[in-house]
Amino acid sequence: MKKITTALFGLLITVSAFADWPIFTQRYTADPYSLVHNGRLYLYCSHDFLKEGAESRPERGYFMKDITCISTDDMKNWTDHGEVFDVKDSKWGAKLSWAPCVIERNGKFYLYYGDGMNCMGVAVSDSPTGPFVDTNDGPIVDKKTPGVMEGSGGQWGMWCFDPGALIDDDGQAYLYFGGSHPDNARVIKLKENMIEVDGPAVKLNASGFFEASFVHKYRGRYYLSYSGHHFSKPSNIEYVTSDHPMTGFDNPGIAMTPPPVNDGHNHHHSIFEFQGRWYMAYHNRQVAHDNGVESQALREFTRNVCIDELFYNEDGSIRPVIATRDGVDQLKYVSPYNHPYRAHTMALSKGIQTAPNNDGGRYVTELNDGDWIMIKGVDFGLPGAARFMAEVAGVSKGASIDLRLDDPNGVRIGTCNLEPTEGGQNWVIQSTLTNNAVGVRDLFLVFRGQGNDLLNLNSWQFEPK
């Protein structure tokens, strides 16, 4: 969601607390699916937005047409990779991209997505950050796929969506999906090429199943988790386990109760191990509340991604995950000295957006007076930092960057008064001296000036004393 929509819908990007719940605020994101690759955690998310309807009023509905990707190596600072798949890159003409999952095989990355509730497509990329392109002649699974409709039930019928992929230890790949009723949980084998199915879909025993299939393994056992019992409330993340990927699921349990600030809606999740710890990613509606979306009916379609740690009991059962404001540890601190730090990596922000850069990355833009980005856990060390450098473009007269510690109004360690520049991506480095930047601190870059669109920021860096 760009800031220009604020005048239309009255939505302002603000954050009520400097913690990691939620973890991403510059756009609405939901249905996070996890992938660990080369020491980084990637989350692939549905991209919610409010569509303009009659009389410039927002319409209710899930209109997601692209997939947002964010990644981290420290669990606090997240790199915004933008939209890595768009339905316009579907050869067969998909109209929607709901609830993605991504899996890697033989150096390629496969993104499965729901074209609404009726079928699923698959897009492929050579990189975890895309671009993903769907070159198939049609969906990989639809309601005509053998086994999909067999034995389905519920007042809404089969929802053929919410894919979750698993490649087992023997190399066999599976796709889990379905929705709206416990009789509608399905799994189907995938061929080696990952873009074709192998045989019919098989019905799963998933007590209370509603939607949001996800499968992971722990100590050799398969855990099928999902959003359950939504039709009778509350909507927990529930799970069943088995010794086989397609049959025998039983022993139902609860992996997470409804998160706070979720207006009673269901939530969608993924479970993963990263650097020796287990986590659950999920979504709630906190950003919509912070943005002043007063209508609960509209908040249903404006979600945001969160993460908390997950623990197992000795018998392998999952302890219900507790939603916290700041319950995830930072796994390593940020070095401000070794190389330029790209500005589209941050822990939290206010009022900013990111846009594609001409080098394939992204930069921070749409900056007005008082907007900021926060980088969590910057290790200035001793004796600390002597100079700050910013790679900027499109600088307005009188624009500056205030450098603050721990809070947007915290201790000021310097102010970088910027000289005007031409061109939105003609990058120049401007700098200032700094004081009192020592130890491990949270760094706020606060943007100051008159008017709108004060500058674009590509990267920043400090020089040590």
Q: What is the rounded distance in angstroms from the CA atom of residue 203 to the CA atom of residue 447? A: 55
Question: What's the pLDDT at 335?
Answer: 97
**Residue type for position 354:** T
Question: What's the pLDDT at 58?
Answer: 85
Strands 202-203 and 209-218: unpaired
183, 203 contact by CB (below 8 A): yes
Q: What is the rounded distance in angstroms from the CA atom of residue 374 to the CA atom of residue 353? A: 14
Each residue of 190-205: pLDDT tens digit? Answer: 999 999 999 999 999 9
- Give the DSSP letter of residue 351: S
Question: What's the pLDDT at 11?
Answer: 35
Q: What is the rounded distance in angstroms from the CA atom of residue 345 to the CA atom of residue 34? A: 18
Q: What is the CATH number of domain 341-464?
A: 2.60.120.260
Model confidence at 1, in pLDDT bands (50, 70, 90)? very low
Each residue of 154-188: pLDDT tens digit? Answer: 999 999 999 999 999 999 999 999 999 999 999 99
Annotated catalytic sites, by residue? 31, 211
- Give the DSSP letter of residue 183: G
Each residue of 320-376: pLDDT tens digit? Answer: 999 999 889 999 999 999 899 999 999 999 999 999 998 889 999 999 999 999 999
Question: What's the pLDDT at 19?
Answer: 63
Model confidence at 127, in pLDDT bands (50, 70, 90)? very high
Task: Tell how far CA 65 is from the center of its chain.
Answer: 15
Each residue of 205-215: pLDDT tens digit? Answer: 999 999 999 99
In degrees rounded to 5, what are phi and psi of residue 87? -65, -20
State the average pLDDT over residues 145-153.
Answer: 97
Question: What's the pLDDT at 3?
Answer: 36
CA distances 180 to 157, 166, 270, 323, Å, are 7, 22, 19, 25
Question: What's the pLDDT at 338?
Answer: 87
Q: What is the mean pLDDT of the chain?
A: 93
Question: What's the pLDDT at 18?
Answer: 57
Which regions of the chain carry the CATH code 2.60.120.260? Answer: 341-464
């540890």: which residue's tokens? Answer: 329
Question: What's the pLDDT at 334?
Answer: 98
Q: Is the pLDDT of residue 409 over 60?
A: yes
**Picking from 48-62, 108-122, 170-184, which range would have the lowest pLDDT averaged per residue?**
48-62
Strands 372-379 and 40-48: unpaired
Model confidence at 232, in pLDDT bands (50, 70, 90)? confident
Q: What is the rounded distance in angstroms from the CA atom of residue 103 to the CA atom of residue 128? A: 9
Q: Is the pLDDT of residue 110 over 60?
A: yes
The strand order across the sheet containing 345-346 reads 28-37, 40-48, 66-72, 78-86, 345-346
């950050």: which residue's tokens? Answer: 129
Q: Which helix or strand (DSSP H or E) is residue 290 part of?
A: helix 286-290
- Per the model's pLDDT, the better-predicted residue between 404 and 13 turns out to be 404
State the average pLDDT over residues 383-411.
Answer: 97
Task: Tell how far CA 167 is from the center of its chain.
Answer: 22
Model confidence at 121, in pLDDT bands (50, 70, 90)? very high
CA angle 459, 461, 465 (to 5 degrees): 170
Question: What's the pLDDT at 21?
Answer: 81
Q: Bridge-partner residues for 463, per DSSP?
A: 387
What is the Cα Rg of the chain in Å? 23
Task: Give the rounded percent of residues in the chain with a pLDDT score beyond 70.
Answer: 96
Model confidence at 15, in pLDDT bands (50, 70, 90)? very low
Q: Which CATH number among 2.60.120.330, 2.115.10.20, 1.10.10.10, 3.30.565.10 corresponds to the domain 3-319?
A: 2.115.10.20
Helix, strand and coil percent figures for the chain, each rounded to 5: 5, 45, 50
Model pTM greater than 0.85? Answer: yes
Token pair belonging to 140: 């990989």
Model confidence at 20, in pLDDT bands (50, 70, 90)? confident
Which regions of the chain carry the CATH code 2.115.10.20? Answer: 3-319
202, 190 contact by CB (below 8 A): no
